[in-house]
């Protein structure tokens, strides 16, 4: 099942300077991703940020994946000549 991160991730200039955050919180996408990168599991993140739920953590990952995909150049298709 693909998660619709747009239900969870918002940007508002009045919240955290417009950084993407989990809706209804001040927890930034960057904070959750940094925690994952440091080796924290979802359970640990949920313990540290009780305003989040497991779906929100998955939404952050989906948002990051979509953002990375948009930033990567599309390689040319191989020629079959």
Is 78 within the bounds of a domain? no
The full DSSP string for 8-41 is TEE--TTSGGG--EETTS--BHHHHHHHHHTT--
Q: What is the pLDDT of residue 48?
A: 96
How many structural domains does the chain have? 1
Is 49 within the bounds of a domain? yes
Please give the backbone phi and psi of residue 28, each rounded to the nearest 5 degrees, phi first: -80, 155
Is 62 within the bounds of a domain? yes
Structural domain for 59, as ranges: 5-71
Which candidate, 34, 35, 30, places its Cα nearest to that of 45?
A: 35
State the chain's mean pLDDT as an integer: 89
Is 77 within the bounds of a domain? no
pLDDT tens-digit series, residues 48-72: 999 999 999 999 999 999 888 766 6
Say which CATH number the domain at 48 has.
1.10.10.10
| Predicted TM-score (pTM) above 0.85 | no
Confidence of residue 21 (pLDDT cuts 50, 70, 90): very high
Is 76 within the bounds of a domain? no
Is 81 within the bounds of a domain? no
Q: What token pair was written down for 78?
A: 């191989």
């Amino acid at each position: 099942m693909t998660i619709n991160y747009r239900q969870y991730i918002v940007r508002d200039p009045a919240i955290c300077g417009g950084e993407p955050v989990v809706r209804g919180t001040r927890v930034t996408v960057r904070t959750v991703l940094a925690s994952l990168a440091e080796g924290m599991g979802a359970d640990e993140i949920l313990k540290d940020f009780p305003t989040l739920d497991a779906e929100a953590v998955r939404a952050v990952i989906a948002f990051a994946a979509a953002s990375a995909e948009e930033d990567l150049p599309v390689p040319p298709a191989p020629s079959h000549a």
